[in-house]
Chain A
Amino acid sequence: MQIYLPIAEISVNIFLLLGLGGGIGFLSGLFGVGGGFLMTPILMFIGIPPTVAVSTQAPQIVASSFSGALAHWKRKTLDLKMGGLLLAGGVVGSFFGVQLFSYLRSLGQIDLFIGLSYVGFLGVIGGLMFLESVRSILNARSGRASTAPKRRRRSWVEQLPVKMRFPASGLYISIFPPIAIGFLVGILAAIMGVGGGFVMVPAMIYILRMPTNVVVGTSLFQILFVTALTTVLQAGQNQTVDIVLAALLIVGGVIGAQFGAKAGRFIKAEELRALLAFMVLAVCFKIGLDLVVTPSDLFVVIPVEPQGGS
């Protein structure tokens, strides 16, 4: 059964979209990630215009992060103060990212930029994650206890000025690193159509040194509000949010995520991480290949659209 998407202006099989939402939802429930980094490339692959694919991911992430953030809120495993700073950076980043998105789109370079961002971020994050998980699997096999990360006495992060106390995280650090991290994640949300959890969570653990029990809740909190803002900005400025597409992906996604979360309990954490790393690298490789392989048509035809704004 085909359905015509009003903003993407393309007719797509409704079950393909539901299934896609379900499949990615399953993986996101399994790995505890948003799944935007998988969904956006697949949407582009099935013919959704890249601009619509990226923008429509934002409301889909709002839906999937909402229930998670709500659960952490109830359990109080959420550093509201830290989340607020990350969010402040994220708001500026999202705004900046949407402007950059509009500008690159007007130059005809948005596809390349999305592609390069994906290869860069997925390559680095996937590579690091893969090495780390392989090391911990090997450690677990050989029976050694995994070595706790050594705490250096003073990192450059701790030397920055304007410090603030974060009671929920038990930290006393400068406000600049959280704002900078939030800013970066806000840009990613606007340009790559991702929540940015895969960048933010490691950054919170390794750079901010936040305790792991508040990391996920705080990152979900930030992602929820940044993607909500990104949705409004993309819709308002670029008119590229397709509500029908988003609704189908959300329905499939929330159901899939529940099953994914249940399946995740049967797999060991480090193996799960290795699997996720492998998947991230595979997506990175596929997008990278598309950038370098000689395209079937050496020309691209792009409609010149009237510049956004109402």
Chain B
Amino acid sequence: MISAILLAMALQGQQPLIQTEAPSIVAALTHETVEIREDFVGQELVLYGATRGLTIQDEIVVVLRGPEYDLRVMRKERNFGVWVNSDPVVFADVPSYYAIATSLPLEDIASDAELAAGRIGLPSLFARQPVSNGQITLSQETVLPYLQAIARAGERQNLYAEAQRGVEVLDGGLFRATISLPPLTPVGDYVADVYLFREGRVIASRSAALRVEKAGLERFIYDFAQTLPWLYGLFCVLLAVLAGYIADAIFNRR
């Protein structure tokens, strides 16, 4: 009897818990740092995670963003028969790397407005870019081809990638996504965001950090060239003279 009451209480206590349990999501990357060494030709990363309270209508979106930098985009114009770069527009804080993987095509997951608000998806990247060419603020129509050019350039170098159904949902609310870093991967701090969507709204999200850095000899040379550029230049000359001298000594022995 007592045990039955206890059981009932326990069940009662548990019942509302299950119903109000907030949906949550956790995620981790297979790497916390990616090292660029002499033999770097790109790298595959796996982001894996688990969700609690995942229902059948829920969708998962994974975004990996690289460090931001400023870009100057110029239009080529034919001048006296030669193509000349003209009409520069500078875009601030553009992600140097942007990969997105989803469990369903993005347009089926949420509305454009919702995605833009969360800066999710390539088109949203530039949606609220304040743009000027230094003097005047440019209209959206003027800027659009420039934005498309940034997207094209990123896709050409595999720096911008979109994988529809790139997120694999496994049993028990587990999921995983494979993201590849191309050979031209920029160095810096990356952020991986995972979003849990329900009925077109983000109901849970989580971030994981990733660092891409040059390592070993690559790092040594790069740091040398950046921090002591003049000494580095002298060193290059010295090495070149030495190479010329050795070549002379080997081949011109009389």
Contacts and interface: CB of A to CB of B under 8 A. Distances in A.
Do these two chains really belong together in a complex?
A: yes
B240 A112 contact: no
Interface bin, chain B? 35 or more
Nearest to A110: B85
B17 interface: no
B75 to A, nearest CB: 6
Nearest to B219: A6
Contact of A310 (B39, B146, B217, B227): B227
Contacts of B39: 1-4
Contacts of A231: 233, 236-237, 240
B245 A59 contact: no
B70 interface: yes
A108 B85 contact: yes
B234 A232 contact: yes
Contacts of B252: 67, 71
A66 B241 contact: yes
Interface string A250-286: 1100110110000000000000000000000000000
A237 B226 CA distance: 10
Interface stretch (B4-12, B24-32, B76-84): B76-84
B239 to A, nearest CB: 7
A292 B83 contact: yes
A241 B149 contact: no
Contacts of A64: 244
Contact of A10 (B183, B230, B241): B183
Interface in A1-20: 1-4, 6-7, 9-11
Interface of B: 36-42, 69-76, 81-85, 88, 90, 145-146, 149-150, 152-153, 183-184, 186, 214, 217-219, 221-222, 225-230, 232-237, 239-241, 243-245, 247-248, 251-252
Given A63-B247, A298-B76, 19 more contacts: A2-B39, A4-B36, A6-B217, A6-B222, A7-B225, A63-B244, A66-B245, A66-B248, A71-B248, A228-B237, A235-B232, A235-B233, A241-B225, A241-B232, A299-B74, A301-B150, A303-B70, A303-B71, A304-B90
Interface of A: 1-4, 6-7, 9-11, 59-60, 62-67, 70-71, 108-109, 111-112, 116, 228, 231-237, 239, 241, 243-244, 246-247, 250-251, 254-255, 257-258, 291-292, 294-295, 297-304, 310
